[in-house]
Amino acid sequence: MPLVVAAALGCGVSLSAQDGAVDFEKQILPVLKESCFKCHEKEKEENGRIKKPKGGLRLDSAAAIMKGGKEYPDGNVVAGKPDDSWLLKTMSLPESDEMAMPPEGKGDRVSAANQALIKKWIEGGAKFGSWKGVE
C-alpha cells in the first residue's frame, strides 16, 4: 500500500507497538478507566442513589466487556474482529455522532494512538491475561 495511504489510515500509529502482544491490564485498562468507567461501572450507591451502568454495559470486568449491553447483546468485543466490536466502533465515531462514546462533551475522547492499540488487542484475540476485574 502506498505510504501516503498507510499514513492516512493511521497504520503508522500502531507500528511502535507491533512486536509483542498488547497487555490489556497495562495498556488498555487505563484508557477505559480514564474515558469510560464513570458511566460503565458496576451498579453502585452514590450520595444515597443507585447509579446503574449506562446502556446496561459494564466495562469493569473481562466477562462484562465481552458480554455487551442492551443494544448489542451479542457482545461489545468480538475477538479477532475489530470492525464488529462496538467498544471500538463507538469510540471512533465523530464526536457529533449520537452513538459516539464518550457522548459529546461528557468525557475524554480516546486518542487515535490508543484506538489503534485497542484495535490491535482485538485483532490479537482480545485476551485479558490474568485480569478479571470486578466480580
Residues that bind ligand HEC (CB under 6 A): 35-36, 38-40, 54-55, 57, 68-72, 76, 86-87, 90-91, 101-103, 106-107, 110
User: C-beta of 39: minimal distance to ligand HEC in Å?
Assistant: 3
Burial, 66: exposed, middle or buried (Cβ in 10 Å; 0-12, 13-18, 19+)?
middle
Q: How far is the CB of 91 from ligand HEC (least distance, A)?
A: 4
| Shortest separation between residue 95's beta carbon and ligand HEC, angstroms | 12
Question: Of the two residues 13 and 88, which places its CB atom closer to ligand HEC in the complex?
Answer: 88
Cβ-based nearer residue to ligand HEC, 13 or 110: 110
Q: Which residue, among 83, 65, 54, has the nearest Cα to 24 in the 3D structure?
A: 65
